[in-house]
Amino acid sequence: MGPVPDLDDIATVCASRLCAADSVLLASHIDADGLTSAAIAATALERAEIPFEVVFKKQLDETEIGSIAALSHDTVLFTDFGSGQLDVISDHEQAGDFQPVIADHHQPADAETECHLNPLLVGIDGASELSGAGASYVLARALADVAKTDPPRANRDLAALAVVGAVGDMQAIEGELVGANGGIVEEGVAAGVLAEGTDLTLYGKQTRPLPKLLEYATEVPIPGISNDEAGAIAFLEDLGLDLKRAGDWRTWADLADEERQTVASALVQRAVTRGVPADEIQTLIGTTYTLTDEPTGTELRDASEFSTLLNATARYERADVGLAVCRGNRAGALDRAQTLLSNHRRNLSEGLDLVQEQGVTHEGHVQWFDAGNAIRETIVGIVAGMALGTDGVDSDKPIFAFANKSDEETKVSARGTGPLVGRGLDLSVVMQEASRAVGGDGGGHDIAAGATVPAGEEKRFVEAADEIVASQF
């Protein structure tokens, strides 16, 4: 990724602390970025022969940090969270509970600690240029140098997981990883673990039969093909290509380059003739990231599919499965992850249906819905993001989604869009300030953030959030 002197210097300090530790507790978030962050850090620690244990947390707050301190490790490595809770972590550090090392990309709280690796501290955008997995990757490279081990390619083979994390964290701006993320891609390509190319951008190229690939391609709806099984089949059969083997449809990954070109060109032409806007048609073709060491035809081969697979593990309390898949321990873990993925897709579809049936409540500058127990609190944010721009949901307002976390607490997830961020929206600030105004806490990124608030305070939270968003606009 090229030299980033300040960030590399911080990484060296962090790596030195880890090498001096008697034991390390690796604590990480549970989404795709958190799982890849943990896998990168765990692999680097193992190669450096540093003893460690791993715990995952849905959210990091004062209670969870206290439970981490109670595990009595002299050093705690936080990946993909920790910056936003730096004030609480610093209190534990000053009390002598543990020495923290933080590799994160979220907005930092107003506190300081020596071993804090965060791109925002050196002028790199943590929402679009370096993910949590990217921060862990920078740390892993430094750890290889400080520990003076000789791991494969000086831990640069871990760049593939960093790319999966960045893609899973929605950091591919207009379909492409940029900034420091782009540098990690270059290192992954040089290490032989990644291939960057231009291809159809539809989800499922590795695993879905061709008709399903097109039928489910709702990112760019094409009349007569999207959400139309018979139409997708008829479109493919009209091309006159050999798209079946032994009677079964091939996948996109099975096709030769010339066959892919024929299908892609016909798909673009169909979109043009059916009046799909030009700016949407352009997104049909874009940058793709392939994990070259992974088997063709599996979710692990494509960065987007890999990240979705990971999201389907920890969000259903099986972070151990996702971590095992990331670290190559595939015996049984991959099958379990694929089962969880099928369940995840069904839950997202049902969640989106619920939002469509129930509708959203519009305030002056925000919109919201309360899913109660109908949508899991671990996926309600994904559903909210999917709902933006659908019938009755305004893409010109950020959306807030509530789901029951317990009898005493409610989870809040917020999603925005690039244009809204361009107008001044910062959901990290909104979630932190609005949640704290009602006795909760939260944070995240400008375009996506989360919080926990006391049950019964949802309406007051919305009022506070609406005022903050109004002031930002």
For residue 411, the domain's CATH number is: 3.10.310.40
Average pLDDT, the chain: 91
| Mean pLDDT computed over 74-80 | 97
**Domain end position, chosen among 162, 193, 224:** 193
Q: Domain check: are 20 and 134 in the same one?
A: yes
145, amino acid identity: D
Same domain, 189 and 65: yes
Residue 404 phi, psi dihedral angles, 5° rounding: -70, 130
Q: How many domains does the chain have?
A: 3
User: Residue 170 and residue 168: Cα distance in Å, rounded?
Assistant: 5
Q: What percent of the chain has pLDDT over 90?
A: 71
Nearest residue to 40 (alpha-carbon basis) of 51, 28, 49 = 28
Yes or no: say if 420 and 388 are a contact pair by the CB < 8 Å rule: no
On whether residue 353 sits in a domain, the answer given is no
- pLDDT exceeding 70 applies to what percent of the chain? 98
Q: pTM for this structure?
A: 0.83
Confidence at residue 155, expressed as pLDDT on a 0 to 100 scale: 94
Closest CA to 449 of 389, 355, 384: 384
Whether 354 is in a domain gets the answer no
pLDDT band of residue 4 (cuts 50, 70, 90) is low
Q: Answer whether residue 3 shows pLDDT above 50.
A: no
Average pLDDT score over residue span 87-101: 96
Question: Based on the domain organization, do 32 and 177 belong to the same domain?
Answer: yes
Q: Which domain holds residue 132?
A: 5-193
Q: Is residue 21 part of a domain?
A: yes
pLDDT at 220 over 80: no
Say if residue 213's pLDDT is above 60: yes
Q: 144: domain CATH number?
A: 3.90.1640.30
Please report which confidence band the pLDDT of residue 396 belongs to, taking 50, 70 and 90 as the band edges. confident
pLDDT of residue 317: 86
pLDDT class for 38, splitting at 50, 70, 90? Answer: very high
**Same structural domain, 285 and 416:** no
Asked if residue 91 has pLDDT above 90, the reply is yes
286 by Cβ neighbours in 10 Å (0-12 / 13-18 / 19+) ranks as: middle
Assess whether 144 and 237 both reside in one domain. no
pLDDT score for 331: 82
Q: Assess whether 182 and 204 both reside in one domain.
A: no
Q: Which of 196-200, 231-235, 345-349, 457-461 has the lowest mean pLDDT?
A: 345-349
